[in-house]
Structure 1
Amino acid sequence: MERENHQQRALRRAALAAFASLCSIPLGAGSAWAGPGEIEQSNPQSIVNGTEVGNCGYPTAVGIGWDEENIRCTAALVAPDVIVTAAHCLDGVDPPMTAHFGEVFAEPERVVDVESCEINPDWDGNDPDVAYCLLAEEVLDIAPTPLAAGCESELVVPGVELEIVGFGVSSADYDPDLPESFPYETAGGGIKRKTTQIFEGIFENDYQLWMVGESGNSACFGDSGGPAYLRLGDGQVRVVGLGQQIHPDTPDFEHPCGYGIVYASTLPHLAWLEQATGRDLTPCFDNEVWAPTSACDGFAISPDLENGTWAQGCTGGGTSGLVQTCGAPWDGEGGEETTTGEEEESSSEEEESSSEEESSSSEEESSSEEESSSSEEESSSSEESSSSDEGSSSEESSEGWAEDEVGVGSESGQGDSESGGFGPGFEPERGYCGCSSEGRPRFGASLLLLALCVGRRRRRRAQLAGGGA
Structure 2
Amino acid sequence: MIAAAAAALLVVLGTGRAEAIVGPSSEASGEAAGIVMVLNHSGRTAGFCTGVVIAPDVIMTAAHCVPEGADLRVHYPGPGQNPVLLPVEAVARHPDYRPDAIRTRERSIDLAIIRLSAPLPDRFTPMRLSATDGVKPGLPFTMTGYGVTREGDGSSSGRPRRTTLQARAPLSGVLLWAEDSARHGSGACTGDSGAPVMAEGSTTVTALVLWSAGRAGRQCGDLTQALWLGPQKAWIDQILISWGVAPAF
- Give TM-score, length-normalised by structure 1: 0.42
1:79-120 Cα deviation digits (max 9, x unpaired)? 232211001111234252224268x9x744x65442211110
Cα distance in 2 for residues equivalent to 1:101 and 1:271: 33
Partner-residue secondary structure (3-state), 2:153: strand
Cα distance in 2 for residues equivalent to 1:122 and 1:35: 22
Indicate which of 118, 123, 133 corresponds to 1:137: 118
Distance 1:195 1:89, change over 3 A: same
Unaligned 5+ segments in structure 1 are: 1-23, 40-45, 173-184, 284-469
Deviation at 1:143, TM superposition (A): 2.9
Cα distance in 2 for residues equivalent to 1:91 and 1:59: 25
Distance 1:25 1:225, change over 3 A: farther
Cα distance in 2 for residues equivalent to 1:72 and 1:262: 18
Cα distance in 1 for residues equivalent to 2:206 and 2:192: 15
Structure (1 or 2) with the greater helix fraction: 1
- Give TM-score, length-normalised by structure 2: 0.75
Counting only pairs closer than 5 Å after superposition, residues 259-408 of structure 1 correspond to structure 2 as: 259-278=222-241, 279-282=245-248
Whether 1:81 and 2:60 are equivalent positions in the alignment is no
Give the corresponding residue for 1:218. 187
Bigger relative contact order, structure 1 or 2 (CA pairs below 8 A, ≥6 apart): 2
Whether 1:194 and 2:162 are equivalent positions in the alignment is yes
Cα distance in 2 for residues equivalent to 1:35 and 1:194: 21
Letter in 2 for 1:160: L
Partner-residue secondary structure (3-state), 2:64: helix
Matched-pair contact (CA < 8 Å) for 1:147–1:266: yes
Unaligned 5+ segments in structure 2 are: 1-6, 102-107
Indicate which of 137, 148, 164 corresponds to 1:169: 148
Deviation at 1:201, TM superposition (A): 4.8
Give the corresponding residue for 2:203. 237
Letter in 1 for 2:59: I
Give the corresponding residue for 2:104. none
Deviation at 1:211, TM superposition (A): 0.2
Matched-pair contact (CA < 8 Å) for 2:40–2:66: no
Cα distance in 2 for residues equivalent to 1:264 and 1:73: 15
Structure (1 or 2) with the greater strand fraction: 2
Distance 1:35 1:273, change over 3 A: closer
Counting only pairs closer than 5 Å after superposition, residues 28-47 of structure 1 correspond to structure 2 as: 28=11, 34=15, 46-47=20-21
Query: Which runs of at least 4 in structure 1 moved beyond 6 Å after TM superposition?
Result: none
Cα distance in 2 for residues equivalent to 1:55 and 1:203: 30
Cα distance in 2 for residues equivalent to 1:35 and 1:136: 24
Matched-pair contact (CA < 8 Å) for 2:40–2:65: no
Cα distance in 2 for residues equivalent to 1:211 and 1:132: 24
Cα distance in 2 for residues equivalent to 1:169 and 1:136: 28
Larger Rg: 1
1:383-442 Cα deviation digits (max 9, x unpaired)? xxxxxxxxxxxxxxxxxxxxxxxxxxxxxxxxxxxxxxxxxxxxxxxxxxxxxxxxxxxx
1:155-183 Cα deviation digits (max 9, x unpaired)? 644322111111112233xxxxxxxxxxx
Give the corresponding residue for 2:36. 62
Counting only pairs closer than 5 Å after superposition, residues 415-430 of structure 1 correspond to structure 2 as: none
Deviation at 1:122, TM superposition (A): 0.8
Deviation at 1:35, TM superposition (A): 6.6
Whether 1:148 and 2:130 are equivalent positions in the alignment is yes
Percent of aligned pairs with the same amino acid: 26
Distance 1:237 1:54, change over 3 A: closer
Indicate which of 188, 196, 218 corresponds to 1:227: 196
Partner-residue secondary structure (3-state), 2:109: coil
Distance 1:276 1:95, change over 3 A: farther
